[in-house]
Structure 1
Amino acid sequence: MPKILVIDDDPSFNMMLTTFLKRNEFEVESAHSAESGIDHLKNHQVDLVLTDYKLPDQDGISVIKKVKDDYPGTPVILMTHYADIRTAVKSIQIGAFEFVTKPVNPDELLLLVKRALKEKKDPVEEVVPSGKSKKSRKKGDLDYISGESKYAKKVYEHASLVGPTDMSVLILGESGTGKEFAAKLIYEKSNRQGKPFIAVDCGALSDELAASELFGHVKGSFTGALQDKTGQFEYANGGTLFLDEVGNLSYEVQVKLLRALQEQKIRKIGSNADIEVDVRIIAATNDNLKKKAEEGSFRLDLYHRLNEFSIQLYPLRHRGNDLFIFADHFLNEANDELGKDIEGFTADTVEVFKNYPWPGNLRELKNVIKRAVLLCQDNKITPEQLPEEIKSGVSPVITEQTLPSNNGSIESSEETNPKDLKQLQETSEKETIEKVLKETHYNKSLAAKILNIDRKTLYNKIKRYEIDA
């Protein structure tokens, strides 16, 4: 019987959660402070830790660090009322299995607990694409599936070549093409494997917080700096720092980043002392970063420093039968997560998938399949379980696609009728976003779900179309 430790200082919630988990056939112990929870871990075997973020003596981040340092095989799920993105990102970066917010949905938490325990028990799983032989893979390695197209093989070959070096790598591709998974693949091919891998979403950081998040700050250095903060460069010391959507960083932060890369030193905001760091940088963007550098909105010297080696990820619509390798993989994932046993897709569904351009790429495909698995009452997914825009083949417009030219540079692809069609499509997209934002009372998370895009993409489109949100 799996053993779970619940750390929460709210007696009522602690008792309720403990009772619920025991009722679902788990052996549960509880603690009401970080110190008592850590003491329990010293004397008892525990398979999973559920910890609150706000504890009377320390915070949940400290608990995660302690568990990861002393009991690295034990998954930790963080629970909190404080659902800000920085806490969520930080908890995952330092090793939390997942982050959930209170009030906790019991069924969702139970599903999460079972998944965490399953991944602890089965670090290697098998993926069986339709009509293909079995391929074993490590958890956390090939969440990024290389596929079998010439594009996929090229990405895998380049990742294998550059991985063992300390060269900075720039990963290029549309949103949702798997840039973070490609970065992890490079990391796992590197000599830094086993050292920290820290991912930072630069698109989710405000200009004011980006420097603090990357380099840290000292207490009192600005309004709200109530205590010293360790930056992500320090957390990644000795390992790899992945900067997603690096093109969103402000000019001031770009200057600090360039210095960090050139000198392997950082300086916290408000400090006079330099800190030496040994960090390998992998950056990613869906912007035409070279064009931005030439136009002056991104530092050209930083672009060249990041672009010691570049890898292009191709959109799903250009990857042929790789689509169905990914589809089978996401189907298996959804079956495991939702406790179902859907066998595959009907012929009609396969045709729908072929005819749809998948502007959201892997992320969109994963979301569509998970939704379909949830709705499916038969043994195969039919078009009835798919969203209307998938069945109709109508999708949000893909603009400013970046594809490599013959000389390997990045250039924008041209629309077939830029004077009329493109303008009409962009106008329609802007109007749709404005309508959904208004209907959701400008709740951007909910709007992003309805639009079937991630929140970062929504923010980028709001900025691009100058929407008053």
Structure 2
Amino acid sequence: MKTILIVDDEIHICTLLTTILAKEGYEVDHSVSGAVAIKMVKEKIYDVIFCDYRLKDKEIDGSVLSLKIRELSPATGIVVMTGYPDVRIAIQLIKQGIYDYIVKPLSAAQVVLLVQKVLLHQAVISKEQLPPANPPATGPVSTYISHRGQLSRFVYGTGNTSKELHTQIKLIAPTDYSVVILGETGTGKESVAHLIHSQSKRKDKPLIAIDCGSLSRELACSELFGHEKGAFTGAVQAKTGAFQEAHGGTLFLDEIANLSYEVQTALLRTIQERVVRPVGSTKETHVDIRIIVASNEDLQQAVLAGRFRDDLYYRLNEFAINVPPLRERPDDLPLFISTFKQAVEDELERECGPLSDEVLAAFSSYSWPGNIRELKNVMRRICLLSKDREPITADLLPEELQPVSKESSESIATGEANLKNVTRQAEYQKILDVLQKVRFNKSQAARLMNIDRKTLYNKLHTLNILL
């Protein structure tokens, strides 16, 4: 039986968590004192410990207690609870080795799911048999992180917005419904697709992902349906399409709104009939797949504008999920920062210093138009530029996150700013405004600004706008 210790100076919290976890079959102890908790850890091995950050012990707060527990029992999963979230404290604690930093009040489902995740993490680390888990319908959301091209880890957000998203994922995952995932660029739509697949009945079969935004009409048909040798110029050998590759599993079509109308027509028939005819072939092949699509453009608006087939939209939209932008998930920011920092340190194979208060303040006040992807890129930049173990300061931040100095503010206010900088800032703001208006659909943004897509990409690069 797995053992859990609750440490909180409010007895009703101890009683509540004990009741919740005991019903799940765990052996639960509790303490209202940090000093007593340390004695208990010396006498008994606990798999998971929940401890409050602000204990009434004079010399033992959650930080000190977690360090002592780590020394006494390195394998124990530590979860620090607080009613007063602070980005700096969260990063410090996670760096010290705690499993998670969560904000009170806690729901029963959140507590149970968190324990299951800690035990699962421990089982993976120790290569033991995974503990049985039957996750509840609600809990923190996972954000998929690709590390060196591999699916390496999940980061769990604990904010209310994240919990609502997770509830929807848990609800739809076991079904075979087609899913439309909507959200701005960089919010993690592919992450949601991976989570749905990993929690479905098809999880042991392949998930094939296709970026429709980069496909021409000819290439799209080949990539989706395959082609026969000699079907067109350059087809020197036969190719199996994504539909057949995903047989038995899930097909994820990202940026589906970018497919041409002709390809949409072929796609509709394939989805309706569940048969594929490769380009240049007269033979049809049955496929058994689940379809998940994603778009950073409102597909209903695309239907009204005549750019997307209404019958295809209604065929795909058996269930819709909206992935919130990072600016609407401030509670999750500390954990994302810490996890990305650790991932970058692994990539660079060196330890970076702590983020300064000025950097953390800039992160907290920034709107993150590029969302989670932009945050990861910024973490890569500042860690790469930093010196080993020295504090990471604001001068390493990209221009859009740089704090505005008093001198710069005064020069702009008095009309003394450099004309080039003023023009650059105006262009930067205009592009961001248009991108936000079209939900970061770059093709649509380029059309509205009367420039081609290549020019827009060049400007995004020049202005260091990460999407």
Task: State the TM bucket, normalised to the shorter chain.
Answer: 0.5 to 0.7
- Corresponding position: 1:243 with 2:289: no
- Corresponding position: 1:168 with 2:133: no
Q: What is the CA–CA distance in structure 2 between the aligned matches of 1:388 and 1:241, rounded to whole Å? A: 39
Q: 2:205: which partner in 1?
A: 195
Q: What is the CA–CA distance in structure 2 between the aligned matches of 1:195 and 1:143, rounded to whole Å? A: 20
- Corresponding position: 1:205 with 2:170: no
Q: 1:153: which partner in 2?
A: 163
Q: What is the CA–CA distance in structure 1 between the aligned matches of 2:298 and 2:231, rounded to whole Å? A: 35
Q: Return the TM-score normalized by structure 2.
A: 0.59
Q: What is the CA–CA distance in structure 1 between the aligned matches of 2:363 and 2:186, rounded to whole Å? A: 17
Q: Return the TM-score normalized by structure 1.
A: 0.59
Q: 2:190: which partner in 1?
A: 180
Q: 1:291: which partner in 2?
A: 301
Q: Is the 8 A contact 2:296 2:439 kept in 1?
A: no
1:129-184 per-residue CA deviation (whole Å, 9 max, x = no partner) reads 52464055578667453412211111111111111110011110000001111110
Q: Is the 8 A contact 1:328 1:344 kept in 2?
A: no
How much has 1:452 moved relative to structure 2? 3.8
Q: 1:443: which partner in 2?
A: none
Of 228, 231, 236, the residue aligned with 2:238 is 228
Q: 2:396: which partner in 1?
A: 385
Q: 1:134: which partner in 2?
A: 99
- Corresponding position: 1:320 with 2:285: no
Equivalent pairs, count: 302
- Corresponding position: 1:259 with 2:269: yes
- RMSD of Structure 2 on Structure 1 (CA): 3.2
**Percent of matched pairs sharing the same residue:** 44
How much has 1:343 moved relative to structure 2? 4.5
Q: Is the 8 A contact 1:196 1:238 kept in 2?
A: yes
Q: 1:358: which partner in 2?
A: 368
How much has 1:337 moved relative to structure 2? 0.6
Which entry has the higher C-alpha Rg, 1 or 2? 2
Q: Is the 8 A contact 1:192 1:239 kept in 2?
A: yes
How much has 1:295 moved relative to structure 2? 2.0
How much has 1:321 moved relative to structure 2? 2.4
Find the residue that maps to 1:366 and give its secondary structure.
helix
Find the residue that maps to 1:198 and give its secondary structure.
strand
Q: What is the CA–CA distance in structure 1 between the aligned matches of 2:355 and 2:176, rounded to whole Å? A: 43
- In the alignment, structure 2 segments of 5+ residues that lack a partner are 1-76, 81-89, 101-117, 125-144, 405-424
Q: 1:94: which partner in 2?
A: none
Q: Is the 8 A contact 2:183 2:439 kept in 1?
A: no
How much has 1:371 moved relative to structure 2? 1.0
Distance 1:148 1:257, change over 3 A: same
Greater Cα shift, 336-345 or 193-202: 336-345
Distance 1:352 1:432, change over 3 A: farther
Q: What is the CA–CA distance in structure 2 between the aligned matches of 1:432 and 1:340, rounded to whole Å? A: 38
Q: What is the CA–CA distance in structure 1 between the aligned matches of 2:260 and 2:288, rounded to whole Å? A: 23
Q: 1:463: which partner in 2?
A: none
Q: Is the 8 A contact 1:163 1:189 kept in 2?
A: yes
How much has 1:384 moved relative to structure 2? 1.4
Q: What is the CA–CA distance in structure 1 between the aligned matches of 2:167 and 2:239, rounded to whole Å? A: 39
Distance 1:372 1:194, change over 3 A: same
Q: What is the CA–CA distance in structure 2 between the aligned matches of 1:450 and 1:148, rounded to whole Å? A: 35
Find the residue that maps to 1:345 and give its secondary structure.
coil
List, as ranges, runs of 4+ consecutive aligned residues in structure 1 with deviation greater than 4 Å.
Answer: 125-129, 135-144, 392-396, 429-436, 447-451
